[in-house]
Structure 1
Amino acid sequence: MKIEVLGPGCAKCRKLYEVTQQAVAEAGLEAEIEKVEDISKISSYGVFLTPALVVDGVVKSSGKVLKVKDVLKALQQ
């Protein structure tokens, strides 16, 4: 599983990255988690509000910091 957290490096983006790491650890999943700060790559997903969560190339959330339970739900979809 490949997970990307999209954002320019703001506090909310860093928080979503931390929450995502925590959710993956709690679920015991094997996943590659990448923080993407390149604006052109972010816009290639059609994301205009950050932070955004992308799982295996599919945008699951944008514009808000999710809670651990919400990240877990997004990973299971």
Structure 2
Amino acid sequence: MEIKVIGEGCEKCDKLYDNTVQATKELNIEAKIIKVESLMDIIALGVMSTPSLMVDGKVKSLGQVLSVDKIKKLLV
């Protein structure tokens, strides 16, 4: 599983990343978690609102910091 946390490194983006890491640990899921912080890379992914969460190439969340529990629901 590949998970991308998309955002330019703001506090909300960092929180979404931390919550994503925690969710995968709690679910015991092996996942490659990537921070996408370059504006050009974000645009190339077609994301216009950050922070965002992408799982296996599909956008699951736009413009919000999801809780650990909400992320877990998206991953199972």
* TM-score normalised by the chain length of structure 1: 0.94
1:69, distance to aligned residue in structure 2 (A):
1.0
Number of equivalent positions = 76
1:42, distance to aligned residue in structure 2 (A):
1.1
1:43, distance to aligned residue in structure 2 (A):
1.5
Matched, 1:52 2:48: no
1:71, distance to aligned residue in structure 2 (A):
0.5
Runs of 4 or more, structure 1, over 4 Å off, are none
Q: Distance in 2 between matches of 1:4 and 1:10?
A: 15
Using the TM superposition, name which of 54-63 and 38-47 deviates more. 38-47
Q: Distance in 1 between matches of 2:21 and 2:49?
A: 21
Which residues of 2 match residues 8-23 of structure 1 at below 5 A? 8-23=8-23
Matched, 1:74 2:74: yes
Unpaired runs of 5+ in structure 2?
none
Q: CA RMSD in A?
A: 0.8
Where 2:54 maps in the other structure, the secondary structure is: strand
Where 1:25 maps in the other structure, the secondary structure is: helix
Residue pair 1:45, 1:59 contacting (<8 A) in 2 also: no
* TM-score normalised by the chain length of structure 2: 0.95
Q: Distance in 2 between matches of 1:40 and 1:21?
A: 24
1:44, distance to aligned residue in structure 2 (A):
2.0
Matched residues, percent identical? 51
Unpaired runs of 5+ in structure 1?
none
